[in-house]
Structure formats: C-alpha cells, structure tokens
Amino acid sequence: MTVQKTAHIIAHSHWDREWYMPFETHRLKLVELLDRLLEQVEEDMDYGSFHLDGQTLPLDDYLEIRPDKAPAIKRLVEQGKLIIGPFYILQDEFLISSEANVRNVLIGITDAEKWGSYAKVGYFPDSFGNMGQAPQIILQAGIDTAVYGRGVKAVGFNNEVGGENPHISKYSEMYWQSPDGSKVLAILFANWYHNGMEIPENKQEALAYWNERLPKVEAFASTSELLFMNGCDHQPLQTNLSQAIKVAGEVRPDIQFKHSSFPEYIEAVKARIPADLATVHGELRSQWTDGWGTLVNTASARVYLKQANVEVQTLLENVAEPLAVLAHLSGASYPREELVYAWKTLLQNHPHDSICGCSVDEVHQEMMTRFAKSKHMAEALMTRSLQQISDTRDTSIFAKYKGAVDFSGENGQAAPFLVFNTSGYMRSGAVKVVVDVCRRYFSDLHVPVQQAYKELQSYRPDQLVIINEHGMRIDAEITHKGLAFGYDLPDDRFRQPYWAYQVEVTLFVEDLHAFASRGYALVSSEHIAVNTDRALKNGTGHAASVTTAHSIVSMDGKLLENDKLKIDIADDGSFSVEDKTTGRTYTKLGLYEDTGDLGNEYMYKQPDGEAALTTEGLLAQLEVVENSELRGVVRLTHRWMLPLQADALLEEEIASMTPFKDRKAQRVAEQKEVLVQTTLTLERGSRALQIGSTIDNTVLDHRIRMLFPTTISAEAVTVDSIYELATRSIQPEKLWTNPSNAQHQQSFVSISDGEAGVTVANIGLHEYEALADGTLAITLLRGVRELGDWGVFATPEAQCLGTNATELSIIFHDGDVISSKAYVEAYQLKIPWVTNQTTIHQGDVPVSFVPFQWQGEALAVTALKVAEKSNDVMFRLFNTSLDKAALAVQGELFTNMYKSNIIEANGESLERVGDSWTLAIGPAEIVTVGLQQRCSK
C-alpha cells in the first residue's frame, strides 16, 4: 500500500538578534513580525502555528517595546500557536563554555515554562558546527530529537548530503550519538531552513514551485514526512500562507499539505523511521568537506570579544557562583535572581553572529557594553560574598600579633586576609594580594583631605612579614605601593572614604583544596623570628633583593629555571625548554608567524604563493621584570617590520563580491613597525611556562600566530571542547582542499606520543592548527576588512588595530593530558586566585576552611551553584576520559547527595560508603550532583 506523502510546512523566521544591522534595527523588524503574527492569528482562523526559532529571548526583546502584549503572547503559547524554546538564544556552541551551553538550556526552559510550554527539540539551525555532547545535553533536559543545519556535510549556503562517504548520512534523518553513548534522532536541513519560503498563491506558480521543491526534499527524506521551512533569516510573516497551502493541495493532490509544527512533524517522522538510518558520531564540524566553507575562522575574528567573554564566563562560573555558594553555606541568602540577570546579559552576547565576531562594527561595540554589565554584576556579587564569608571567619588567632606602626606612630593590629581557591581542584601557586597596612578615614581628619594626603605621603611601615594561622612565617615578597584612596559602604550609615597605605604581597600557596580558603596575616617582623634581609625594608619602596642561587632567572635574563623546567632564551626571543621530568628538550618555541589574510570575518585566506614571515633571527631586547625564588618574569621586545596592508585589488574583489577563496590580491611592499612584547613567567614548582603577548597592531589584512614546534610524532591531538576532550586527527580528510586546517578549541590543545606531551593552554584564544610535523600554532590576532557572507559590509574595527594582549601557558608533562592531569593546570590558567582582606574578629567558621572534598580520576569540574528551584547545591563534573570513573564526595555540612541533571531534577541518592558519598560515572558522562544541606536557608 502506497502511503501518501505529507508536506509539513513550518512557519518561522530565523532570528539573528544582531548581524548585518545593529541590534535595535533588527529588533524593530522583530516587533513588526510579532505584531503581524498577533493580528494574523486573530484574522485567520486556519493559521496553524509559528516557530520562534527555538529561542525565548526574542519575547523579552519584543515585550520591552510592547509590554502590553504579554497576555496575548502567553495565550498564543498556551494555545500552541506560538512555539518557543527550549533555548534562551541560538548560541555558537564552540565559542562559549561548556557551562554556558548548559545555562542556555536551563534558562531557556525556565523562561519558557513561565509562558506555558516549549518545543522539545534541540534546535541548532545555523550553529557553525555542532558540539559532540549535544545529544547527551538535550537528553538530560528530556529532549530526544535534534534539528541542525551544518556539520554533517556543508556546501556553500545549502547543506546537502549524498555520495559514497561513509561518514555522512544519505538521509536527512539520522541518529546522532555522543561520546558517552547518548543517542537522539537528528534531522538535517538538507535543503536549508528556507526551502518552503514564499509559497505562491497563484496556481500556475504554485505548481512550478512544488514540482521543483518536492523532489529535492524527497531525495533525502527517509520517510513520507517531508519538511518545508516557510521562512529564512528575518523573514517577514507570509500572511497568505493558509491560502497558499490550500492552493498547493489543489495543484498537487497526491501530497497532503499541512501547516505543521516541529512537535507534529517529529511525532510523524518517529512513527515511520526506517531501520537503516545511519548514526553520526560526536562533533559535527564539517570534517568531511573541502574545508572552505566551515566558518571555523570565526574563532579568530575579533579575538578581543572571545577574551572578554572568557573573562566574564570565568567570573560567573568559577568565582562569583562558588563564592556565593560558600557564603550561602555560611548562612547568607543565595543571589539567585542577580546571577540569572548576569548570565542572561552574558548569554545575549552568545548568538552565533555575535560571539563569532562576524557582524558589523556597531554590533560588537554594543557587545562590549554587555560584557561590562555582566562583569560588573559578577564582581559586585563576588565582593558581597567575600564580605559575607569573611564576617563568619574566626580571625581572632591573629589578635596577639602586632601590625606595622600606623599613621599615628602607634603599633597597629595585624592585617589578616583570606586566599580562596575557587578552581574546583587542589591548587598551588604564587598569589598576589594588595593589603592595606593602615587607614586614615576622612571623618577622623583634622585637616583638609589634600593636606592630609601630603602629610601621609612620608609614611613608611617598618619591616613586615606574612604568617599563617599557626604563626609560622610564609615565604613572601612584599612591595610598597604607597597611598591609595578607598571607601567603605556600611549597611547602617553613609559611605566612609579613607586614605590607605598599601603593600603588594606575593606569597606561595601550596596544596589548597578545591573551594577552600586559607587565612594569613601581615604582621610586624618585630614579633616574628625572621631573616631580616627577606623582610620589607622601610622606606626603600622596593622588595628586599632575593638573588640567591634559588632565584628563577639567571644568566642576565636568558635562563629561567625551577625544579621542573629549564628555559634558555635565544637572541631572537625564541626559547628552548628542557623538561626535567621526561628528559625531553624542545627548541625554537615561541616564534611569531605573520601571513596576509584576504578573507573575511568567517574564513581565513592567505595570498597565493606568499611565504610566511616569522621572528626567527629578529633580535629581541631582553629585560628582567621580576626575580625571586617564587617567580621569575622576563620581558622580550621585538620591533617587527610587516607589510602595511593588502594591495588595491582586494578592495575591488570585495566590492565585486569575489568569493574569498578565489581572491588574487597580494600584500604591498611597504612596511610598518609592529611592536611586540612578550613576557615569560615561571613560578616555583611549576611545569608550565606562562606567555603573555602584547601586540601593537599597526598594519591591516593579516594574521599573527605563535608557533610551538614540539617535534612529537602523533596522529591526533586532544582538544578541550564542550564537556569533552575531543580527539582530532592532525591529517584532514581526503576531501579537504583548504591549505589551512584551523580548528576550534576551548581551554587547550595537547599533543602526546604516550610517553611525553605538550599542552598549550589559553585564555580566549579559540583557534589552533596542528601541523604534520607536531607544531601547534595558536592564532593571536587576525585582521580583516569585511563581514563576508551574502553582501558587502565593511568592518574596519575587525582589523583589530592598536593594543592586543593575549595569554598562553605551555605545559610540559609525561604521558597524555589526562593521565598527567595537565588538563587541570590548563583549566586553572584562566581562573584567578581570589583574596580578601578582613579584620580581626571572632567567628563561627575557622579562618582556614574546606567546605567539602571530592576525589575522582579524570574528572573535570564545571559548576558549583545553588539550584534554581531549591536550596540544594549543584556540583557539576564530566568524565574527560572514555574509561569509567568514580566520584567520592565528603562534607559534614550535607545530609544527603543525589544524582541530578542539567535541569536540576532530583534523582536517586548516592551510595554512602563510610564518610563519603560515591557515584560511578560512565565514559564521557556529564554528571550533576545535588548536595542537600543540614540547615538550608
């Protein structure tokens, strides 16, 4: 029996919140669209439903202009006429953090439920590649179907599938499986998400339209259910759709035409799924294409955006939220609404055309304001939590120690401070903290503040040292900073400004537990047995010289050495590293490479026949910035002459819309100096060399990378991706013809031969390339002059002129990145140590405190927060390996622990073994554990 085919017509508009026009210009179009939709539903009783692009944020944007329409919107959602969610925004999956991807789901579902319901479909219509853990993530949210447009097989603007390649599906329907084994039904927009747009009402035109379009869908559909997307980017509502669908049935009576929705379409497809559907696995990055249309170089477009994003993400995920949990455990209320606001503000920068840096300049200018707003909220919450925590800590142990002689000439109190490790892992390292030695409040002044400032400038404290809670002296460098303005904002009175004399303390903190804190105090050395040549010298303005045999920098700055690494710096600023653990030596690391770029914000294109320029042989000026047994810092300066820009042909090629890969422009012969400063930092006991680069970019149309020729022979690299350490082949697939094989990364890329490895970690540098000779190349800067895609849009700010500062860390280790735990150090690079000066007072909590401890091999932490709908603490991790793992958690503050998921549902309690709750974790599994408190507030 022949089954009649059904054409499911889904009305929609793919809503890029901002792109080739600024946000407010796009928003005005959105208001017009939804105004017309409300009218349409009232006027046309046959109108089915409208799919709001899988998002909830457009409703917020609309209702800011039309607040009176909220009841009507809610009614449409409840009636199934307006299909929203499950996401807050349509994100770029690879350029935001793992946790940000999850918060997009959690916030989207939470918001959608307030309106009535949401579509249970993982909707990724235009993501520039898809994360391999998407099936596991959406399954944890109760969603078993994904819809996407890219990654399986991408060709230009149409994403078609076909051919003999075993890595792709011959159908538009397939299964998609995550590394942990989670599997969902996946539907590819084989003819893109505009294949049913602007359906004709005229019978003759309609017949030609459907005769052309039906076969294109039938060629890939595995069932009799055919998908037609009635809309495209910012597509206005088709107001005659009901009549056009009626006409379609008249001209093609062999097809059932239906104004449908994704829930209806998916249900129909599931009822007819054939047995021979293919299964695609893991990341869908268009690996099996020619490599020219992957849009991967959005990872290096406007690097400053990515850096700002990582900074704010880190403040929220790894600082503000964990500190808010610690304050909550100490009795403070959890700032749930404030954190959601900060997250929403940040997520508004995560749509694919936003965070990818592939929009007009006005879009990215506004993004920087949003980053600042989210950052300021995170910082304010952090400050408040620190005060709440510090108030509960018993610092009275330091009351018996004297501080410096204060402004009045009398002995002051010790100055206690707390150091927090919010990274989620045990941590050691050099910590810098600014401490007020003494303060003079304006309210206590008997002279004008300006006069007081002059009088207080002559003050210098006597010799100072750092002690821990046991009164033991801690190795530290103490440097004068002088007078500074400060103020208190008491809860019970007006603001209190003051002058403070400050010193900067650098101390080494060793083996501080995850989410734990430790107390220290700045005291006068008069009461502490101390080697006085290591104390602060009164009046010198500098730290005491510590140039013993154990100092890290020697040989006039050309050698940095600790017990793990020996780094020799060459005249051209490159360096060789001897890994004392493995005995391996790596040479010519840290050279800069520059090439021209004729591409756009989406894709990189080097001029044909051009040879790359490098800093090899270019003399670098060397300066020792810091040197002690705790830390050594060397600064290198290059004055690099680079081509000024591309020649005039590039402008002509852009104006004529010559495809970027076909451009023939070259760079001009004229050159201009680019100042490049590099800082190399090595700390005591570290197997990582931190590398800071500051590039004063004065030239156009180019890309700068840093090169790390490891010479390690390997077929693949391990790359930090979304809830996954992905294994990616160094050699691209045979179909790949693009000379560049740049790829996305989150926090690091690592190469290993099983015996030794090198991991390059970064802060906001999301583009790497692994070369066949074992070189890891990290993009630091890319400057282009146009948006690209479908039109001609100039983007002068995408040239990234001016100061561009970047941070890397190169970690040398045995084994691979997991077995050596190098991934932990890579994750910690971006997470700051947190410190807070406090007063001497009694409290209910010890000055040094560990709230809970956890153990588990190969596990990575992504969140510590309080649940959205309860006061349970949510602790999220994932298994970095493809082997089983075991988690054990101990904590006296908790009465029960249970397995949850990304939407924070209550699950079965963990097994209790002795004083630990334990959980078996599968390969590559994402796990959320709920911790129930003894006294929940």
First to last CA, the chain: 64
Burial class from Cβ neighbours inside 10 Å (0-12, 13-18, 19+) for residue 154 reads: buried
Instruction: In whole angstroms, give the CA distance from residue 455 to residue 501.
Output: 12
Q: Which of 27, 134, 36, 132 is nearest to 76 (CA)?
A: 36
SS3 state at 654: helix
Angle at 100 between CA 99 and CA 105, to 5 degrees: 95
| Sheet containing 613-614, strands listed edge to edge, beginning at the edge strand earlier in sequence | 613-614, 591-596, 702-709, 775-783, 767-770, 743-744
Instruction: In whole angstroms, give the CA distance from residue 755 to residue 582.
Output: 8
Instruction: In whole angstroms, give the CA distance from residue 893 to residue 853.
Output: 11
Place of tokens 């560990």: 850
Q: Which of 865, 832, 934, 860 is nearest to 893 (CA)?
A: 934
Instruction: In whole angstroms, give the CA distance from residue 427 to residue 516.
Output: 10
225 close to 265: Cβ distance less than 8 angstroms: yes
Place of tokens 């989207």: 108
β 834-837/724-729 pair status: unpaired
Torsion of CA 300, 301, 305, 310, to 10 degrees: -20
Which CA distances in Å does 374 have to 339, 347, 489?
Answer: 9, 9, 22
73-95 burial, b for 16+ CB within 10 Å, e for fewer? beebbeeebbbbbbbbbbbbbbb
Angle at 374 between CA 372 and CA 380, to 5 degrees: 100
Q: Which of 787, 765, 789, 785 is nearest to 777 (CA)?
A: 765
Instruction: In whole angstroms, give the CA distance from residue 456 to residue 827.
Output: 43
849 close to 731: Cβ distance less than 8 angstroms: no
Instruction: In whole angstroms, give the CA distance from residue 138 to residue 131.
Output: 12
| DSSP secondary structure code for residue 755 in this structure | S
Residue 863, φ and ψ in degrees, nearest 5:
-160, 145
Instruction: In whole angstroms, give the CA distance from residue 173 to residue 804.
Output: 45
CB atoms within 10 A of CB 621: 11
Catalytic residue among 126, 353, 720, 816: 126
Angle at 199 between CA 197 and CA 205, to 5 degrees: 135
CA atoms lying within 13 Å on the CB side of residue 436: 16
Q: Which of 136, 234, 237, 223 is nearest to 187 (CA)?
A: 223
Strands of 815-893 (E only): list them.
834-837, 845-846, 853-855, 859-866, 873-879, 885-890
β 845-846/393-394 pair status: parallel
State which H helix or E strand residue 212 sits in. helix 203-218
757 close to 748: Cβ distance less than 8 angstroms: no
Is 556 a catalytic site residue? Answer: no
Q: Which of 862, 682, 644, 830 is nearest to 747 (CA)?
A: 830
Q: Which residues are catalytic?
A: 126
